[in-house]
């Protein structure tokens, strides 16, 4: 598949370059700037970074070997300026340490930190376009949904083994599905007849369970259930909660961290974590900032930044995106990376 086809156009490419470039330009250290693309996918954002900033090295993380293979081919022309590493994105610290030890990225990264990172959350366009992965409800396919094919839990496993309570919980929590209980009951009835294996049967069940009036609004009736199953299969929210402080700890002074979310659960986690990182530790009511209590980060985006109408017209997958960015504003005396987390008082 040609990685340059429209389906693989990176969302808000130019804006992502602009934000991350601010982190690169903030450092006056005489070292090679390092950027981490924590959700490499087909490599569209990384390609834009490498083209716009010829002085940088980009580390691309992904748990999907198919994505890594495609990105490595797409980005081979950049030589040693692009380095890929297979891991779930919250493995960023192990990845950077190992790559530095191997000499595949500047070995002084622990001394100088990284200049920026980007996490483009959720399922990638490449994964959606590969029918046999089971991420898309628009065509019949095995109920897989694993981003890493070497893990054991699949969407079929969940449908065939979870209790009514657990199934309803993930549909409600991860999919905001109003009819979670009814869907769970229907799944349990149907799996007694035959185990679930393909997405087409699940879509038919959802059409039968969700009332016609509700199907006429809110998009495809399978959208919320498929989202919930995908999040559960890949432990996406757990990984996101882990990665915000882990990635932020690697940024040098002025370094830029950017997150792109496509559904409210992701955005809430990012918003809360960045709010904590950008909060002063000086007790309320004091007339001045106490030394060492200043905020570690400064919010760069006002609230959640959205794609423009022009961007959405060019790339419909940009419609739901919410972008939040923050820059490191204080090192609090630390000179090695990753920066140890502040002890809460």
**Domain match, 103 and 30 both:** yes
**Domain match, 218 and 245 both:** no
pLDDT at residue number 285:
65
pLDDT at residue number 308:
95
Calculate the CA 331 to chain-centre distance: 26
Please determine, for residue 341, whether its predicted confidence score (pLDDT) is greater than 80.
Answer: no
Mean pLDDT value of segment 305-313 = 94
**Domain match, 86 and 213 both:** no
Domain presence at residue 333: no
Residue 343: DSSP 8-state:
P
**Domain match, 101 and 16 both:** yes
Domain presence at residue 308: yes
**Domain match, 200 and 175 both:** yes
pLDDT at residue number 3:
38
Mean pLDDT score of the chain, rounded to an integer? 89
Please determine, for residue 255, whether its predicted confidence score (pLDDT) is greater than 60.
Answer: yes
Structural domain containing residue 164: 128-234
pLDDT at residue number 5:
42
Closest alpha carbon to 321 in 116, 121, 90 = 121
Please determine, for residue 224, whether its predicted confidence score (pLDDT) is greater than 70.
Answer: yes
**Domain match, 12 and 121 both:** yes
**Domain match, 157 and 221 both:** yes
Question: Phi/psi class of residue 10: alpha, beta or left (left: φ > 0; alpha: ψ in -120 to 50)?
Answer: beta
Calculate the CA 52 to chain-centre distance: 22
Mean pLDDT value of segment 176-180 = 94
**Domain match, 206 and 261 both:** no
**Cα–Cα dist 15/60, whole Å:** 19
Contact 282, 293 (CB under 8 A): yes
pLDDT at residue number 302:
87
pLDDT higher at 192 or 290: 192
**Domain match, 23 and 113 both:** yes
Within 8 A by CB and 6+ apart from 161, the residues are: none
Query: Lowest-pLDDT range, 61-75, 88-102, 271-285?
Result: 271-285
Please determine, for residue 76, whether its predicted confidence score (pLDDT) is greater than 90.
Answer: yes
**Domain match, 72 and 132 both:** no
């Amino acid at each position: 598949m040609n990685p340059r086809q429209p389906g693989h156009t990176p969302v808000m490419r130019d804006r992502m370059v602009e934000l991350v470039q601010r982190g690169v330009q903030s450092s006056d250290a005489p070292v090679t700037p390092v950027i981490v693309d924590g959700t490499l996918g087909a490599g569209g954002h990384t390609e834009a970074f490498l083209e716009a900033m010829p002085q940088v090295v980009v580390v691309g993380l992904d748990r999907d070997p198919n994505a890594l293979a495609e990105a490595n081919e797409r980005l081979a022309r950049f030589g040693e300026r692009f380095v890929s590493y297979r891991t779930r994105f919250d493995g960023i610290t192990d990845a950077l340490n190992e790559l530095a030890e191997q000499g595949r990225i500047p070995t002084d990264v622990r001394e100088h930190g990284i200049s920026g990172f980007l996490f483009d959350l959720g399922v990638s366009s490449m994964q959606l376009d590969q029918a046999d992965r089971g991420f898309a409800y628009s065509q019949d396919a095995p109920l897989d949904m694993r981003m890493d094919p070497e893990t054991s839990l699949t969407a079929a496993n969940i449908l065939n083994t979870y209790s009514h309570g657990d199934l309803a919980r993930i549909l409600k929590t991860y999919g905001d599905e109003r009819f979670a209980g009814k869907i769970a009951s229907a799944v349990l009835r149907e799996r007694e007849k035959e185990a679930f294996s393909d997405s087409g049967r699940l879509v038919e069940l959802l059409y039968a369970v969700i009332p016609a009036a509700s199907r006429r609004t809110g998009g495809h009736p399978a959208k919320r259930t498929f989202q919930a199953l995908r999040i559960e299969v890949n432990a996406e929210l757990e990984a996101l909660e882990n990665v915000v402080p882990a990635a932020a700890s690697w940024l040098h002074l002025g370094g830029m961290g950017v997150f792109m979310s496509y559904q409210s659960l992701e955005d809430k986690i990012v918003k809360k974590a960045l709010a904590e990182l950008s909060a002063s530790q000086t007790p309320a009511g004091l007339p001045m900032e106490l030394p060492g209590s200043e905020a570690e980060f400064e919010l760069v985006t006002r609230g959640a930044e959205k794609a423009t109408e022009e961007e959405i017209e060019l790339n419909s997958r940009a419609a739901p995106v919410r972008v939040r960015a923050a820059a490191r504003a204080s090192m609090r005396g630390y000179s090695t990376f990753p920066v140890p987390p502040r002890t809460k008082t």
